C-alpha cells in the first residue's frame, strides 16, 4: 500500500524560511518518473526536515520520500504517525502529565509507551501511624499550566479516599486542564432501588466525582469504559464531563485475528448485554440468552439464534462470580457450539472466582472455554490471571492514550 501524505503538508508551507523546493534537498539522488514500475530510490530513503505551523506554534518534523511513490511525503516523527488499524487516527500533539495510583502503575507505563507526549509523574503514597493517608505530589509547581490526568482504580472502599484526596488536589495546582481516567466505575451494579431504604451507591459516587474542583480551562473530564447501566451517565452533574468509552473495538480486532474469524457468532447472556453491545457487533451472527426463574433458581436458556458448529463468543460488560457465564456456556455447548469463548471489559472476580473457568483442551466446550478475554481495567485481577489459560488480557492503554488527546 502506498504511503499517503501527511495532511499538514497538503497546504503550502507558511514558514518563510521554507518557501521553495530548493530547501527540500534529499541526502541521496533520485529521479522522478511517470512510470510507477521503475524503481526510483537507488540508495537509502532521502530524508529532509520541514518546519510548519500547527495550532499556533511551529513544529519541526523529519520526513522521508515514499519508496513506493516518491511524489508522496511521509512523516518520520513518532509524534505524527497515524495508526492504520484504528477507526479514528489520533494525533498525539497535546502533552499530558499522567499521575497514577500504585495499582495502576503497570497500566500507566503502557499508556506512556504509546506516545512521547504522555509523561509519567509520581506521587508518594504513605500513611500516618493511625492509618490515614500521608500523600505528597512531587514537583507540584512543575505542572502549572500543563494538561494533567490521573489514572485511578477504585478496587475497594479502602483505597477510594486516598485517591479522591489526590483527585481533588490536582486541579487546584493551577493546571491547564484535568482529566480523571477511571477505567472501571465500581459501583455500577448498585444503581437499583427495589425496596424502600435501598441506597444507590452509584449515584453517590457520581455526585462525589461531579464536585471535583474545576481547572483553569473548565470542568474535569472523566474517562470510563463500559459503565454497567446506561442510565448512570445521567447521574453526573454539570461540573464534570463524562466520556464513555468501550472495549468492544479492541475485541473486534482480536476476533479478526483468529484463524476461524469467519465462523464467529456473538452471544449475549441477557437482554441487557444485547441492548448495550449489539450495535457495535451487528456484522456478526447473534445469539441471545435469557434468565428465567424456575422455583428458587434462575436458569439460563437460549432465547434466539443458532450456535450449531459455531465458535460462540459470549460478550458482557463485567463478570463477578461467573455463574451466569458458566450457565450460558453449558447451554451453548448443549445446542451444538463447536467452541465457546467469552469477553468482558471488567474482570472483577471476587474471592478468586476466576478459578471456576477452565481451558478447553480436549475440544469439549461444555467443560472449558477456548478464550476468555478481559481488559486491564481491574489491575488486581490482571495479576491473578496472568499466564493462566483460558484468560488473555487486552490492554486499554492505546484507547486511554487516545482519550487523553480529546
Q: Is 228 annotated as a binding residue?
A: yes
C-alpha–C-alpha distance, residues 255 and 171, integer Å: 40
Buried b (16+ CB within 10 A) or exposed e, 23-54: eeeeeeeeeeeeeeeeebbeeebbebebebee
What is the residue range of 220's domain? Answer: 96-245
Same-domain status, 100 and 237: yes
Query: How many domains, in total, are found in the chain?
Result: 2
- Residue 188 reports pLDDT greater than 60: yes
CATH number at residue 199: 3.40.50.2020
Domain annotation covers residue 311: yes
Tell whether 239 and 310 lie within a shared domain: no
- 226 marked among binding-site residues: yes
| Domain's final residue, options 194, 211, 245 | 245
Q: Which range is most confident: 89-103, 231-245, 251-265?
A: 251-265
Task: Report percent pLDDT > 70 for the chain.
Answer: 76
Structure confidence at residue 196 (pLDDT):
86
Q: Identify whether the C-beta of residue 104 lies closer than 8 Å to the C-beta of residue 163.
A: no
Residues 198 and 312 in one domain: no
- Please tell me whether residues 196 and 268 are part of one structural domain: no
- Tell me the CA distances in angstroms from 137 to 122, 158, 167, 403, one per residue in order: 7, 20, 11, 24
Does one domain contain both 287 and 197?
no
Q: Please identify, among 222, 245, 268, the residue that sits at the C-terminal boundary of a domain.
A: 245
The mean predicted confidence, pLDDT, of the chain is 83
Instruction: Please tell me whether residues 193 and 329 are part of one structural domain.
Output: no
pTM of the predicted model as reported, rounded to 2 decimal places: 0.77
215 and 260 both lie in a single domain: no
Query: Which residue, 199, 220, 245, sits at the end of a domain?
Result: 245
111 and 198 inside one domain? yes
Burial of 140 (0-12, 13-18, 19+ CB in 10 A): middle
- Residues 215-224 have pLDDT tens digits of 999 999 999 9
Residues 134 and 201 in one domain: yes
Same domain as 141, residue 225:
yes
Torsion sign (Cα): 397, 340, 319, 303: positive
Which cell is 94 given? 497535546
DSSP string spanning 46-103? PEEEEEEEETTEEEEEEEEE-SS-TTSEEE--GGGPPPTTSSS-----S-EEEEE-GG
Q: How do residues 373-397 score in pLDDT, each as one tens digit?
A: 999 999 999 999 999 999 999 999 9
Cell numbers linked to 240? 464534570
Tell whether 101 and 240 lie within a shared domain.
yes
pLDDT computed for residue 249 by the predictor: 98
Amino acid at each position: 500500500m502506498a504511503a499517503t501524505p501527511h495532511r499538514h503538508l497538503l497546504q503550502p508551507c507558511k514558514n518563510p524560511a521554507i518557501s521553495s523546493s530548493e530547501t527540500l534537498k534529499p541526502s541521496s539522488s533520485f529521479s522522478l518518473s511517470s512510470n510507477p514500475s521503475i524503481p526510483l530510490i537507488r540508495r537509502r530513503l532521502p530524508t529532509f526536515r520541514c518546519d510548519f505551523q500547527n495550532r499556533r506554534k511551529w513544529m519541526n518534523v523529519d520526513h522521508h520520500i515514499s519508496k513506493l511513490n516518491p511524489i508522496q511525503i511521509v512523516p518520520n516523527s513518532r509524534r505524527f504517525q497515524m495508526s492504520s488499524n484504528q477507526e479514528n487516527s489520533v494525533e498525539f500533539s497535546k502533552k499530558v502529565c499522567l499521575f497514577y495510583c500504585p495499582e495502576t502503575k503497570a497500566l500507566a507505563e503502557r499508556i506512556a509507551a504509546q506516545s512521547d507526549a504522555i509523561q509519567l509523574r509520581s506521587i508518594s503514597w504513605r500513611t500516618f501511624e493511625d492509618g490515614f493517608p500521608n500523600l505528597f505530589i512531587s514537583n507540584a509547581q512543575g505542572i502549572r499550566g500543563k494538561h494533567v490526568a490521573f489514572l485511578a482504580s477504585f478496587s475497594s472502599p479502602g483505597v477510594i479516599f486516598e485517591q479522591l484526596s489526590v483527585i481533588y488536589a490536582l486541579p487546584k495546582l493551577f493546571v491547564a486542564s484535568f482529566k480523571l481516567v477511571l477505567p472501571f466505575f465500581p459501583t455500577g451494579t448498585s444503581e437499583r432501588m427495589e425496596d424502600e431504604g435501598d441506597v444507590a451507591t452509584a449515584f453517590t459516587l457520581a455526585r462525589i466525582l461531579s464536585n471535583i474542583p474545576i481547572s483553569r480551562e473548565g470542568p474535569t473530564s472523566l474517562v470510563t469504559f463500559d459503565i454497567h447501566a446506561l442510565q448512570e451517565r445521567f447521574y453526573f452533574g454539570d461540573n464534570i464531563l463524562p466520556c464513555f468509552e468501550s472495549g468492544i473495538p479492541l475485541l473486534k480486532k482480536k476476533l479478526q485475528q483468529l484463524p476461524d474469524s469467519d465462523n464467529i457468532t456473538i452471544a449475549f447472556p441477557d437482554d441487557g448485554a444485547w441492548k448495550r453491545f449489539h450495535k457495535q457487533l451487528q456484522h456478526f451472527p447473534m445469539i441471545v440468552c435469557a434468565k428465567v426463574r424456575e422455583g428458587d433458581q434462575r436458569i439460563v436458556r437460549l432465547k434466539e439464534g443458532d450456535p450449531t458448529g459455531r465458535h460462540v463468543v459470549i460478550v458482557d460488560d463485567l463478570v463477578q462470580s461467573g455463574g451466569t457465564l458458566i450457565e450460558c456456556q453449558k447451554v451453548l455447548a448443549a445446542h451444538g457450539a463447536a467452541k465457546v469463548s467469552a469477553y468482558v471489559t471488567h474482570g472483577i472476580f471476587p474471592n478468586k472466582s476466576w478459578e471456576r473457568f477452565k481451558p478447553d483442551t480436549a475440544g469439549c466446550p461444555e467443560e472449558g472455554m477456548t478464550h476468555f478475554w478481559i481488559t486491564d481495567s481491574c489491575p488486581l485481577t490482571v495479576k491473578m490471571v496472568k499466564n493462566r489459560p483460558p484468560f488473555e488480557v487486552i490492554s486499554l492503554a492505546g484507547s486511554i492514550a487516545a482519550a487523553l488527546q480529546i
